[in-house]
Amino acid sequence: MLTVYSEDCRAHHGRAELNEGQLVPCFENPSRTDMVLDRLRAVDLGEIVAPRDFGEGPLRAVHDDGFVDFLKTCWADWTAAGRDWDAIPFTFGKRGMRNDRVPQDIDGRISFYGMDAGTPITAGTWTAATAAANCALTATEQVAGGLRAAFAACRPPGHHAAADYYGGYCFLNNAAIAAQAARTNGAQRVSILDVDYHHGNGTQTIFYDRDDVQFLSLHADPTVEYPYFLGHADETGAGAGEGFNHNFPLPWGTDWARYEEALTEALRRIRGYRPDVLVVSLGLDTFENDPISKFRLSSDRYPQLGALLAGLKVPTVFVLEGGYAVEALGTNAVGVLQGFEDA
């Protein structure tokens, strides 16, 4: 299987995030993709290539212009205010407050566009985020050109980023950018299957009122888990998108038997939709030893997941999302890809 990766994905490296009331070293860091690439090379899964630069057009086809401009200039504006540490929001708009005016001050703009205090912006954030998006776009282009599947080793991840906000370690929504590019290039229907432990709130909101992109997500119940405010089963789409959004919230402690049951239903709905392209938001934080998650999937289940996805017989773009048990991340990610290839 072809893998697309850019060394520029290493440019984003936050010093600390706010977790459970404490500043701790960032769980999302460059060692994550190092482990995946090491494993890819160890098993000789296939060629690893650099992405090509698609420019900002595909990013702006998914994300708000003002938001993209903010991400491009945030670090320069932050340092112009005399800071050389990570940029993190400290206030958030709530019910009854206005959201129709973007503040002029950099602290206000970070708070306007930021979703949480766990996603620092650094000197290399824009470089890394655009490189990750180009990885997803290149993998999508290769699949459109006839490959059965391709893997975008994206970092930072993307599925929590919406059209006009960032958070959850995500800045640009790589999976959504890939899906929109597939549509732009001729695919009539695209399915996005998100198997990350956390709900892909950003992807859901981007396509919530559309029927040309089906979104399905298996994730921890948002009543007890991040991102808390989206991901419930009764969120089924709006307008033309009604019936094309499918959430499968699962309880803490979910094991393979329960997970496979939900996955089987999600795959049934994908078959019914008959997509031309499948985009998989490949989060591996469902692993039993992940430090910030509470599912119980063991490493030997990930090849089974890949084989089930292969059974759809749809051209597939894998886009790396979460997974923070760094030592096992390569084994688990490559396990999915090998399971797909061997099916």
Catalytic residue ranges:
160
Q: Coil, strand, or helix at residue 307? A: helix
Yes or no: say if 194 and 219 are a contact pair by the CB < 8 Å rule. Answer: yes
Sign of CA dihedral 200, 251, 285, 125: positive
Q: How far apart are CA 26 and CA 19, in angstroms?
A: 9
- HSE, side-chain direction, 13 A CA sphere, residue 252: 9
The torsion of the CA quartet 284, 288, 294, 297, rounded to 10 degrees, works out to 70
Characterize the bridge pairing of strands 213-220 and 2-4.
unpaired
Enter the DSSP assignment of 85. S
Identify which of 216, 241, 8 has the alpha carbon closest to the alpha carbon of residue 130. 8
Yes or no: say if 318 and 282 are a contact pair by the CB < 8 Å rule. Answer: yes
Q: How far apart are CA 299 and CA 280, in angstroms?
A: 18
The angle formed by the CA atoms of residues 235, 337 and 147, to the nearest 5 degrees, is 90
Characterize the bridge pairing of strands 2-4 and 48-49.
parallel
The torsion of the CA quartet 41, 45, 46, 52, rounded to 10 degrees, works out to -70
